[in-house]
Amino acid sequence: MVRTVLLTFFVTCAFAVTDFANAKDSQVQHSFLTADSSKQIIAIINEDGLPQWTHKIGPLHDLHLLSNGNVLFQTNWKRIVEVNPATDEVVWEFQAGQGTKKKVEVHAFERLKNGNTMVVESGTSRILEVDPHGNVVHTIPLQVKQPHAHRDTRLVRTLDNGNYLVCHEGEGLVREYNREGKIIWEYEVPLFGEKPRDGHGVEAYGNQCFAALRLKNGNTLISTGNGHRVIEVTPEKKVVWSLDQNELPGIQLAWVTTLQVLPNGNIVLGNCHAGPDNPQVIEITKDKQIAWTFHDFNRFGNALTNTQILSTDGKTVHLKQTTR
């Protein structure tokens, strides 16, 4: 059913085709959803490297193609929208920061299995569950030492057990919370013996984690943001696998952002703020071989933060389900 929706979508969308850089740096072919705040664009790119849908955005740190074919994304730090890409119609939206005078930014959201939408507010330090009518039906408090609208959180993802895996960018922490806001597990992202350095590019350094995924083996895969790394951590907090800044031939990692594990076990990572000499999206095998890269500094720029692979070699990748 999901594949049928996607195939129908790719065939029927009739948007103007522009000259995107060729995303096929190997025999692997992907379609994907991606966004760059510096160029103010979110787009679906097909397996030929051509745009099937584009939309103007402001700042953005999260995005999802849903199983109904719609795109869930943000147009600014507070407004979350679900858009039908075939018509560009907004079919659902939510404005964060309601009922508070605090400065609020949103850096994570997700459509839940029950049709509600998780929206994470930084500044108020809370997770909201919002129903299809825009009503907040559940609130989960987050534990933040010094609440900050831009730094409380980056990506947050629901787990199969109903808990939430939260990246606290400002504190360099990954935490698992239950639905009452209790911390179930916590990991402090290490600096690996280096001192913090200011900046956003390859020259900077820190532990400002962007994304975390709970793997099938129970370990947690973490992108360390300006730590230029991806690490796999056991429940006992031991690092059992890592990809460092200069391990990939001819590539430097800068601010490592989104993570996705494909059905074949390969890892896709965002390489943001890395400059025009480096690809913005990279797929690697677990033994650190480069399988695919995306590099387009014409249509996208140095702030391509988020990417979601939709299909690989004609096979649809699992998408977030929605009851709508």
User: For the whole model, what pTM was predicted?
Assistant: 0.92
Tell whether 264 is covered by a domain: yes
Tell whether 323 is covered by a domain: no
* Structure tokens that stand for 175 in this block: 């935490």
Cα angle at 117 between 153 and 165, to 5 degrees?
40
pLDDT reading at 21 higher than 60 = no
Lowest mean pLDDT across 12-21, 99-108, 249-258, 269-278:
12-21
- Distance between CA 230 and CA 114 in Å, rounded? 31
- Distance between CA 112 and CA 167 in Å, rounded? 18
- Distance between CA 108 and CA 77 in Å, rounded? 10
Tell whether 89 is covered by a domain: yes
Sheet bearing 220-223, strands edge to edge: 211-214, 220-223, 230-233, 239-243
Lowest mean pLDDT across 10-19, 178-187, 266-275, 307-316:
10-19
Tell whether 321 is covered by a domain: no
Instruction: Name the 3-class secondary structure at 273.
Output: coil
Task: Encode pLDDT of 203-247 as tens digits.
Answer: 999 999 999 999 999 999 999 999 999 999 999 999 999 999 999
State the pLDDT confidence band at 34, using cuts at 50, 70 and 90: very high
State the pLDDT confidence band at 318, using cuts at 50, 70 and 90: confident
Query: CATH number for the domain including 120?
Result: 2.130.10.10
**What is the pLDDT at residue 321?**
62
Tell whether 275 is covered by a domain: yes
Tell whether 163 is covered by a domain: yes
Helix or strand holding residue 120 (H, E):
strand 117-122
β-bridge partners, 241:
232
Rounded mean pLDDT of 19-41?
76
For 290-318, b/e burial (b = at least 16 CB within 10 A) is bbbbbbbbebbbbbbbbbbbbbbeeebbe
Residue 138: which domain range?
A: 2-316
Tell whether 139 is covered by a domain: yes
**How many domains are contained in the chain?**
1
Tell whether 324 is covered by a domain: no
- Distance between CA 27 and CA 166 in Å, rounded? 35
State the pLDDT confidence band at 125, using cuts at 50, 70 and 90: very high
